[in-house]
């Protein structure tokens, strides 16, 4: 029992010395829009599907201006958690982007 205690105390003291920073504890973060004590809580508005609101059912692959809003500069399709599009319309947007890429209306990747 005494051996178990000595092993546990040596392992905890070794782990605490490894994790501490040499300059001491971290300074407090400035109170800003992050929502800490004294700061304002950040309110994120729930994203609403653009196509559902405007009642757009078919997403044309020829409408390059519309589709470019869903493609990042690197050429990747932007995920729906960033665009706010619902699942069914995200699938349709993805299909339209892929069709537009295949007939060279949209680039597959960024030029470098």
- What's the mean pLDDT when you consider all of the chain? 80
Predicted TM-score (pTM) of the model is 0.60
- DSSP 8-state code for residue 56: -
Query: What percent of the chain has pLDDT above 90?
Result: 47
In this model, does residue 47 exceed pLDDT 60?
A: yes
Long-range contacts of 93-101 (CB under 8 A, 24+ apart): 93/59, 93/67, 95/59, 95/61, 96/59, 96/60, 96/61, 96/63, 96/67, 97/61, 97/67, 97/70, 97/71, 99/61, 100/61, 100/62, 100/64, 100/67
Q: Which of 7-11, 51-55, 67-71 has the lowest mean pLDDT?
A: 7-11
pLDDT digits (tens, 9 = 90+) for 52-62: 999 988 999 99
Structural domains in the chain plus CATH codes: 50-102 (4.10.640.10)
pLDDT digits (tens, 9 = 90+) for 78-98: 999 999 999 999 999 999 999
């Amino acid at each position: 029992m005494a051996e178990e205690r000595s092993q546990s105390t040596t392992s905890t003291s070794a782990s605490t010395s490894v994790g501490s920073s040499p300059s001491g504890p971290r300074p407090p973060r400035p109170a800003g829009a992050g929502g800490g004590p004294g700061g304002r809580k950040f309110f994120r508005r729930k994203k609403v599907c653009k196509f559902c609101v405007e009642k757009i059912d078919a997403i044309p692959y020829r409408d390059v201006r519309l589709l470019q809003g869903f493609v990042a500069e690197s050429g990747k399709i932007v995920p729906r958690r960033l665009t706010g599009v619902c699942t069914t319309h995200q699938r349709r947007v993805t299909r339209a982007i892929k069709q537009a890429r295949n007939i060279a209306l949209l680039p597959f990747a960024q030029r470098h």
